[in-house]
Amino acid sequence: MHHPAVLGILIVAETRRFGNGNHPISKELLMSRDRHPFGLCMYGIQYLVGAAGRGTPNENPNALTADEFLRLAVDRGLSSIEVSLPFVSAALDPGQLREYAEQARGAGLDVVIAGPNITATPDLAALIALASGMGAKRFRCTGSAVLCGDRSPVGGFPGWQRHVDNEISILRDLAPVAEHNDVRVGLENHQDHDSADLLRICETVGSEYIGVTLDTGNPIAVGEDPVAFAEKILPFLVDVHLKDYRMINTPHGFRLVHCAIGSGVVEFRSLWPVLERRPEIPRGIEMAALSERYIRIFDDAFWDGFGSREARTLAPVMRIARERGENVDDPAEWQTPLERGAGESTAESAAKWESKRLEDSIRNLAAIASTAENP
């Protein structure tokens, strides 16, 4: 077991020792690894890939390249990767994209594409075609900039309903494109959609090529239980982000903060059997953002963004808050290195910190998956 202080350095060093993207991963390495039934999303290690802190004093000076990210997934014995198109090829070169995907599949990795916000991207058809050219079969996307369940920026509940109508229109137009390219599109619950929204979208569009990317931590942000949420959207499942949170209770609701997957409030031992009913669906580690998500669920303004809901639907989340939520007065106890400070030392500590969280996540999920297979 490596000391936490050196894990960040080791992850970069271990991936870089395989050389550049023109050198295939050795068969010996592939044969020596047992595969975990889960993979890794690039946005699950935002600091290590350079997405978090970019353009600030906290920017990661040693961010992983797409090739190094691939090798990290192989070296950790994972089964899939989720990457954005620009991460693989800034120029969106079809040849580079195809070569990368072929290398990933040659290494035994399924490839999922992390797509953009569909309401802010005019040429989705071109991106779907690029994904298809890579041989990717799944395309995750988001549908808004809403976070923390706060729908006030789009006009509360009436504005949100209009927004969902717009998403339906966009996805209806995209469905034949997705079908033509044999790529399934999964709209993510990105702390904006509740399960009713996603069911309405999928049922109204009515295409097997339009479904849901389930983020396992985000149902809490809209006052829903992750396991019940998964049950509801399971028939439309396209992709899974394995996310967990610690929950810090406050007078206004709770803060959802970063933690290793399997060490927070999401009941993965109950969720895993639900996901196993769709074993063909890839599941990727996506640790939380490196800044808190404040869910002001006790404020009246929060509920102005939602229609009428039965009180009983909130009981599971309130139970989670009571049984597994924490009462922590000192923010330094739960803040990430990027929230606590700035400067060169912060960049180094953030990489080591996120690396340690990733290793803990892999270990925790491996134990959960093993228990599910051998109850």
Helix or strand holding residue 316 (H, E) = helix 315-324
- pLDDT bin (cut points 50, 70, 90) of residue 27 is low
Distance CA 88, CA 90 (A): 7
Distance CA 340, CA 190 (A): 25
- pLDDT tens digits, 138-163: 999 999 999 999 999 999 999 999 99
Q: Sign of the C-alpha dihedral, residues 214, 215, 221, 226?
A: positive
| Cβ contact 280:237 at 8 Å | no
- pLDDT tens digits, 348-372: 899 999 999 999 999 999 999 999 8
Set out the domains of the chain in order of their start, with CATH numbers: 4-373 (3.20.20.150)
Longest Cα–Cα distance of the chain, Å, equals 59
Helix or strand holding residue 215 (H, E) = strand 210-215
Res 7 pLDDT > 90? no
C-alpha pair distances (Å), 341 with each of 49, 184, 347? 20, 41, 9
Q: In this predicted structure, what is the pLDDT of residue 344?
A: 53
Res 224 pLDDT > 80? yes
Average confidence (pLDDT) over 300-323: 93
Average confidence (pLDDT) over 53-74: 95
Q: Helix 4-16 vs helix 66-75: angle between axes, to the nearest 10 degrees? A: 110
Q: In this predicted structure, what is the pLDDT of residue 343?
A: 56
Res 22 pLDDT > 70? no
How would DSSP label each residue in 155-203? THHHHHHHHHHHHHHHHHHHHHHHHHHT-EEEEE--SS--HHHHHHHHH
* pTM for the whole structure: 0.92
Average confidence (pLDDT) over 175-183: 99
Average confidence (pLDDT) over 166-188: 99
Distance CA 267, CA 265 (A): 6
| Cβ contact 85:92 at 8 Å | yes
Q: In this predicted structure, what is the pLDDT of residue 89?
A: 99
Distance CA 34, CA 19 (A): 23
Helix or strand holding residue 82 (H, E) = strand 80-83
Report which residue type is found at 375: P
Q: In this predicted structure, what is the pLDDT of residue 43?
A: 98
